[in-house]
Amino acid sequence: MRTREEMLDIVCMALGGRAAEQVIFGKVTNGASNDLQKVTGIVYNLIRSYGMGDTEDGIGQLSYPVSEGGE
């Protein structure tokens, strides 16, 4: 059980690691691609499944769970 803010903090930490690779090493490894997959999943679920989108994004407190067919 996490708040919207906690979930966005997790997103920032994951993207911070990716940015650090770019800044320090001048390139991004394939490990960072996993960070992008995780972040994408968190944000999709934040908005689509948990109804935690900003009211500014036009969605608000609605949930669009994934059907069993994956659509």
Count of all residues that appear for the chain in the document: 71
- The DSSP symbol for 65 reads P
Whether residue 21 contacts residue 27, with contact meaning beta carbons closer than 8 Å, is answered with yes
Which tokens sit at 71? 């659509």
> What was the pLDDT predicted at 39?
92
Contact 34, 15 (CB under 8 A): no
User: Which residues fall within 8 angstroms of residue 24, CB to CB, at 6 or more apart?
Assistant: none
- Stretches where the chain sits below pLDDT 70 are 55-63, 65, 67-71
pTM of the model: 0.70
pLDDT of residue 35: 85
